[in-house]
Amino acid sequence: MGRRPLLDRAGVLDAALALADESGLGAVTMHAVATRLGVTPMALYRHVGDKAALLDGLVERLLGEVELPPVELTWADRLVAMARDLRRTGHRHPAVFPLLLARPAATDEAARVRDAVLHTLAEMGMESEEVAQTERLVSTAVLGFTVSEVSGRFRNHPQSVIDADFERLLTLLRGFVEPPSPGSGPAAQFG
Amino acid sequence: MGRRPLLDRAGVLDAALALADESGLGAVTMHAVATRLGVTPMALYRHVGDKAALLDGLVERLLGEVELPPVELTWADRLVAMARDLRRTGHRHPAVFPLLLARPAATDEAARVRDAVLHTLAEMGMESEEVAQTERLVSTAVLGFTVSEVSGRFRNHPQSVIDADFERLLTLLRGFVEPPSPGSGPAAQFG
DNA sequence: ACCTGAACACCGTTCAAGT
DNA sequence: ACCTGAACACCGTTCAAGT
């Protein structure tokens, strides 16, 4: 029998992601990933293409970790659940997460998350043109906040303040996708 | 008289920013900046510290370009004007702009822009605790959108769609900082 | 004070070679 | 098919040396 290959794509991505989580994106070099796998740098190229493709693979990995919420929840609760889970993913992988802001949701895993949001927004009877725009703005807000947080923009604030900011963002998000209807909006308080 | 130095900090930053604008952040290497200035890489260190400090300098440069709006404008118009100008700065310097999401507004130029927003929000009688939070969320939304745009996340969309998205964001921003008051909010249209 | 030259430990990537 | 070894053109950064 032919001897089993030492490497495969999944293993290379595992090693690269571990390196990124432990020591930052700068630690993800072909040399370092190879060393961690007990192999020479050139052995990686067959499995992950080149360095840029390796980073693309890491982004896919992160998106694959995002859980879609149970359909039993109301659509508003589902959006909030996805926002929270996306943020948690950022916390687990702070070095790789900022890359999400740099590429369109073109891969399968990216489409999976985005389509879940689109589907949820469509359920509430939003026009299809507005659905797409709303998804982009909501995703941008959640990604922008989380990237800021994991990249260090909020490093001078205690975690409690950052958490409160995010809760405020979620409240705004609810109000945004759920425009005040008669009897349920903020204006009702002043009736 | 002693001969004039070949280099100064401003000149080094000029060269580095030009390189970033023309060929991306990856083109900003100590070697390339030095070559552009007709000097060896080591000559730069005296003027800009090291590579990380050089990038900090570029961020300062970008923030310094952001114009503060005339005080004659209403506070809502001032916020919108600052958002637009921040986005324009991103368009001029797409390679450097994403770095804004990675550091707190700790430098003088960063504080200048942030304080202008804080001051504007305070003018409308917002409580000081809420002012700070609102500033963070508004800045995050505008930065997150612009970084997405200049980093390529929206590259599959025509510019007209991206522009419309931003206008929508500005409308939301207005509604966010200017909560509907009796007679002026959206509800007034249905009176 | 300011810049250079040589050097060091790294990078990503290629190519031909081994098994 | 899969991995290695040698090599190339780069990186950032230090150090001692020149003026």
pLDDT digits (tens, 9 = 90+) for B107-142: 999 999 999 999 999 988 888 889 999 999 999 999
B12: pLDDT strictly greater than 50: yes
Does residue A51 carry a pLDDT above 50?
yes
What are the structure tokens assigned to B117, written together?
């927003």
Nearest CA to CA, how far is B190 from chain A (Å)? Answer: 10
Per-residue pLDDT of A65-120, as tens digits, reads: 999 999 999 999 999 999 999 999 999 999 999 999 999 999 999 999 999 999 99
Say yes or no: domain B63-190 is CATH 1.10.357.10: yes
Partner-chain contact A141 B136, CB within 8 Å: no
With CA atoms as reference, report the closest residue to B101 among B53, B150, B65, B64.
Answer: B150
- The CATH 1.10.10 portion of chain A extends over 9-49
pLDDT category at A128 given cuts 50, 70, 90 is: confident
Domain with CATH 1.10.357.10 in chain B: 63-190
Chain D nucleotides covered by protein, CB below 7 Å? 1-6, 10-16
Question: Does A104 contact B152 at a Cβ distance shorter than 8 Å?
Answer: yes
How far is it, in rounded angstroms, from Cα A45 to Cα A47?
5
State the pLDDT at residue B181: 57
Please give the backbone phi and psi of residue A153, each rounded to the nearest 5 degrees, phi first.
-65, -25
A1 pLDDT tier (thresholds 50, 70, 90): very low
Percent of chain A past pLDDT 90, that is, above it, reads 84
What is the band of B187 on the pLDDT scale with cuts at 50, 70, 90? very low
- pTM value surpassing 0.85: yes
Place of tokens 């996306």: A86
Percent of chain B with pLDDT over 90: 84
**What pLDDT does residue A186 have?**
43
Select the residue of A104, A172, A190 nearest B176 (Cβ to Cβ): A172
Q: What is the pLDDT of residue A6?
A: 85
Q: Mind listing the pLDDT tens digit for each residue in B36-77?
A: 999 999 999 999 999 999 999 999 999 999 999 999 999 999
Q: Hunting for tokens 């923030």 — which residue is that?
A: B63
pLDDT at B189 over 50: no
Closest CA to the C1' of C1: that residue is: B5
How many angstroms away from the CA of B2 is the closest CA of chain A? 42
Contacts of B28 (CB under 8 A, 6+ apart): B16, B19, B20, B54, B55, B58, B95
Instruction: Please state the rounded mean pLDDT for residues A43-67.
Output: 97
CA distances from B37 to A122, A180, B14, B32 (A): 55, 59, 10, 9
Cβ pair A54, A28 in contact under 8 A:
yes
Tell me which of B178 and B22 has the higher pLDDT: B22
CATH number of the structural domain A9-49: 1.10.10
**pLDDT at res. B51:** 98
- Tell me what pLDDT residue A114 has: 97
pLDDT on residue B3: 63
Distances (CA, A) of A169 to A79, A99, B178: 12, 22, 16
The residues, any chain, with a CB within 8 Å of residue A12's CB and separated by 6 or more, are A33, A37, A44, A47, A48, A54, A57
Q: From CA A83, how far away is CA A167, in angstroms rounded? A: 10
pLDDT in tens, A132-155: 999 999 999 999 999 999 999 999
